[in-house]
Amino acid sequence: MGRHLLSIADLDDRTLHSVLATAVEMHDVQRREVKKIPTLRGRTVINLFFEDSTRTRSSFEIAGKWMSADTINITGKGSSASKGESLRDTVRTISAMGVDAIVMRHAASGAAHQVARWFDEGSVPASVVNAGDGMHEHPTQALLDAYTLQRRFGDLTGRRVAIVGDVTHSRVFRSNVLCLPRLGAEVTVVAPPTLLPSGAAQWAAADGFAISHDLDEVIDSGVDALMMLRVQRERMSGGFFPTPREYTVGYGLTRDRLAALTAASPEAVICHPGPMNRGLEIAAEAADAASSLVLEQVSAGVAVRMSVLYHLLASDVTDDGATKGSAA
């Protein structure tokens, strides 16, 4: 792996498969009585979160701690960013303390890329992990989604995955369509026209996924996994759908659609990156169904993030054979 993980596109095929394979080994740590391995002893990982998070932040913290790294959490609200400090000054300050990696979530698309550029230009020997940048990418979410589906199905070749909902605002969608087709999955994106980004058709052709506006048709035609996306009302400035009720009628995984899914594809599973809007994009019956992998996704998140930190920090050699700086 290179020095940073900013996008799924940063991973060549060999590294993508290696991250997923190492996550299997890391998952074993979770089942031990003493959840501690020495892999990152002496390393310092800062979780720098300018947006709220439950799953990503805590799983990166747990991942680091189980690997014996020193992990520290900094949030926008509790840091000097709330006093007007710029992002550049904040990350320069943190990096001056000699940290090995910054795991960063930010509302601005491209923020993690910008920090990585500053580090590279300034020869700061620290890794940057994108833990979600605006509407752009959330690579470790896509990795944990792929890992969860592989645990259920094995090889994903030919598995049909429908990604449903608020595509426009979803960094989870953007990372997943870069990841799942490369693992052989047949991806269909299902959304109302108002919640598809412009240029989606060309994008679909380039990245190898299909587009549909009819969730019932997709369910009836058979799927192996339905990945429901959160409706991101905090990022919506206009009227993307008439009412929440109409959104649910058109694109929610309702009780009736759960029954249709089970009838058409008895082995199909339900995923959701969380946090869920129960009653809007997913009914409680679907979120809590036996076929729901939501909590398995959360569990996988720790293993996958351990694997990512391992690949970034526990190897001295980059993909092209060059030696990394002292951070790695």
Assess 324 for contact with ligand CP (CB under 6 A).
no
Q: Which stretch binds ligand CP (CB under 6 A): 54-62, 77-85, 162-170, 245-253?
A: 54-62
Output the CA angle 231-138-4, nearest 5 degrees.
165
Give min distance, CB of 158 to ligand CP, in A.
Answer: 27
Assess 56 for contact with ligand CP (CB under 6 A).
yes
Using CB under 6 A as the criterion, what x/- string covers residues 8-37 for binding ligand CP? ------------------------------
Question: By C-beta, is 142 or 196 nearer to ligand CP?
Answer: 142
Q: Which stretch binds ligand CP (CB under 6 A): 49-57, 64-72, 115-123, 243-251?
A: 49-57
Question: By C-beta, is 124 or 302 nearer to ligand CP?
Answer: 302
Question: By C-beta, is 227 or 328 nearer to ligand CP?
Answer: 227
Question: By C-beta, is 122 or 275 nearer to ligand CP?
Answer: 275
Spatial separation of the C-alpha atoms in residues 63 and 83, rounded to whole Å: 30
Using CB under 6 A as the criterion, what x/- string covers residues 222-261 for binding ligand CP? ----------------------------------------
Give min distance, CB of 267 to ligand CP, in A.
Answer: 24
Binder among 55, 65, 152, 278 for ligand CP (CB under 6 A): 55
Spatial separation of the C-alpha atoms in residues 163 and 223, rounded to whole Å: 11
H, E, C per residue of the chain: CCCCECCHHHCCHHHHHHHHHHHHHHHHHHCCCCCCCCCCCCCEEEEEECCCCCHHHHHHHHHHHHCCCEEEEEECCCCHHHHCCCHHHHHHHHHHCCCCEEEEEECCCCHHHHHHHHHHHCCCCCEEEEEEECCCECHHHHHHHHHHHHHHHCCCCCCEEEEECCCCCCHHHHHHHHHHHHHCCEEEEECCHHHCCCCHHHHHHHHCEEEECCHHHHHHHCCCEEEECCCCHHHCCCCCCCCHHHHHHHHCECHHHHHHHHHHCCCCEEECCCCCCECCCECHHHHCCCCECHHHHHHHHHHHHHHHHHHHHCCCECCCCCECCCCC
Q: Which stretch binds ligand CP (CB under 6 A): 50-58, 67-75, 107-115, 306-314?
A: 50-58
Question: By C-beta, is 55 or 117 nearer to ligand CP?
Answer: 55
Q: Which stretch binds ligand CP (CB under 6 A): 8-16, 113-121, 159-167, 267-275?
A: 267-275
Residues 183-222 that bind ligand CP (CB under 6 A): none
Give the number of residues in contact with ligand CP, rule: CB under 6 A: 9
Residues 270-309 that bind ligand CP (CB under 6 A): 273-275
55 and 274 in contact (C-beta within 8 Å)? yes
Assess 134 for contact with ligand CP (CB under 6 A).
no
Question: By C-beta, is 59 or 265 nearer to ligand CP?
Answer: 59
Question: By C-beta, is 132 or 165 nearer to ligand CP?
Answer: 132
Give min distance, CB of 55 to ligand CP, in A.
Answer: 4
Assess 53 for contact with ligand CP (CB under 6 A).
yes
Among left, alpha and beta (phi > 0; psi -120 to 50; other), residue 222 is left
Q: Which stretch binds ligand CP (CB under 6 A): 47-55, 67-75, 180-188, 276-284?
A: 47-55
Q: Which residues contact 103 (CB under 8 A, 6 or more apart)?
A: 45, 46, 47, 48, 60, 129, 131
Binder among 141, 170, 176, 188 for ligand CP (CB under 6 A): 141
Angle between helix 139-153 and 55-66 (nearest 10): 80
Q: Please give the residue ranges that form the binding site for ligand CP (CB under 6 A).
A: 53-56, 132, 141, 273-275
